[in-house]
Amino acid sequence: MVNLMANIMQSEEQRRAFGKRLKELRNQRRWTQKEVAAKIGLQLSQFNKYESGMHAPPTDKLIQLAELFATTTDYLLTGAITDAQPITNTRLLERFRALTRCEPDEQETVIRLIDAMIVKNRVEAALTPVA
């Protein structure tokens, strides 16, 4: 993966695209650069260099970022979206499993609630000014 990352992130354009995806993920969660840097054990200035496209993160930090943002390293590096993104939040997974034992109309209610939350978050993200 190190060689792949070196090849993918060698151009400034590729690093900038990576930084843009990173910034979008951060803004979706309404986290500051300082908060994300602290969560993965970086100095703010170093995280800023990743997000601005000046530097590419080492493999271990790339993996931490993917885990933090519940995405894949493929998405961070290339923007490729896979259909098979795993659910990493075990609490959610447990509840989804428990919901399979509920009545279909109860499951539909939960699906509608989830859909409403997703729409709410997308609208809020669209209305939030980008720093």
Tell me the per-residue pLDDT of 24-58, one tens digit each, with 9 for 90 and over: 999 988 899 999 999 999 999 999 999 999 999 99
Residue type for 80, please? A
Q: 83-105 burial by CB neighbour count: b if 16+ within 10 A, else e?
A: eeeeeeeeeeeeeeeeeeeeeee
Q: Are residues 70 and 13 in the same domain?
A: yes
Q: Are residues 95 and 52 in the same domain?
A: no
Task: Say what percent of the chain tops pLDDT 90.
Answer: 44
Domain extent at residue 107: 90-127
- Whether the CB-CB separation of 124 and 29 falls below 8 Å is answered with no
Total domains, the chain? 2
Is 83 contained in some domain? Answer: no
What tokens appear for 4 in the block?
């792949």
106 pLDDT more than 60: yes
Is 85 contained in some domain? Answer: no
Look over the chain and give the mean of its residue pLDDT values, rounded to a whole number.
86
Per-residue model confidence (pLDDT) at position 39? 96
Q: Are residues 18 and 42 in the same domain?
A: yes
Average of per-residue pLDDT across 93-113? 88
87 to each of 48, 93, 94, 95, how far by Cα in Å? 28, 7, 10, 12
Is 57 contained in some domain? Answer: yes
Query: pTM for the whole thing?
Result: 0.60
Instruction: Output the domain CATH number for residue 11.
Output: 1.10.260.40
Q: Which residues contact 93 (CB under 8 A, 6 or more apart)?
A: 87
109 pLDDT more than 60: yes
